[in-house]
């Protein structure tokens, strides 16, 4: 398992993120709020965590939904998976929405998302003159639903 050193500052009153088991890929992030926030259906909320990071170059922090909140209460991340770039130094905030017809309340200290640290590569784009210059494949330009699913 690859590890990297990540500097972290915790401005919240909640614990530092930590792995809950030896096989855990992510750590929980807590709502750093002073009073409960009612998450209404089809509204968007930015919830602070009080966490600041310094990631090494070549790494990102992915902010992902918590499956229990999604399944039980319909709470999802508006942007699917959020990316914290290695050069960002601001507070990590989580953009939540409610997909169910009834509201759900986020309380101070609730676990609202998980964070996974990932390495990545960058691309050197090589511009070509036409789409025909791209190598043909069996799928070619077959898009959504092309595999029959």
Q: Is 68 annotated as a binding residue?
A: yes
Q: Is 10 annotated as a binding residue?
A: no
Q: Is 84 annotated as a binding residue?
A: yes
Q: Is 88 left (phi over 0), alpha (psi -120 to 50) or beta?
A: beta
Q: Is 87 annotated as a binding residue?
A: no
Q: Tokens 């998302």 — which residue?
A: 113
* Buried residues in 83-117 as b, exposed as e (16+ CB within 10 A): ebebeeeeebbbebbbeeeeebebeeebbbbbbeb
Q: Is 66 annotated as a binding residue?
A: yes
- Binding positions are 66-68, 79, 83-85
- Binding positions for substrate are 66-68, 79, 83-85
């Amino acid at each position: 398992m690859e590890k990297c050193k990540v500097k972290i500052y915790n401005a919240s009153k909640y614990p530092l993120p930590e792995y809950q088991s030896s096989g855990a890929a992510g750590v929980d992030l807590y709502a750093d709020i002073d009073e409960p926030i009612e998450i209404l259906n089809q509204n968007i909320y930015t919830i602070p965590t009080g966490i600041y990071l310094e990631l090494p170059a070549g790494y990102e922090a992915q902010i992902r939904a918590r499956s229990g909140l999604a399944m039980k209460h319909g709470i999802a991340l508006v942007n699917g998976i959020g990316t914290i770039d290695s050069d960002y130094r601001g507070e990590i905030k989580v953009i939540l929405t409610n997909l169910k017809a009834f509201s759900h309340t986020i309380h101070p200290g609730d676990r609202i998302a998980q964070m996974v640290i990932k390495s990545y590569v960058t691309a050197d784009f090589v511009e070509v003159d036409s789409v025909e210059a791209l190598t043909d494949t069996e799928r070619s330009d077959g898009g959504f639903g092309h595999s029959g699913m």
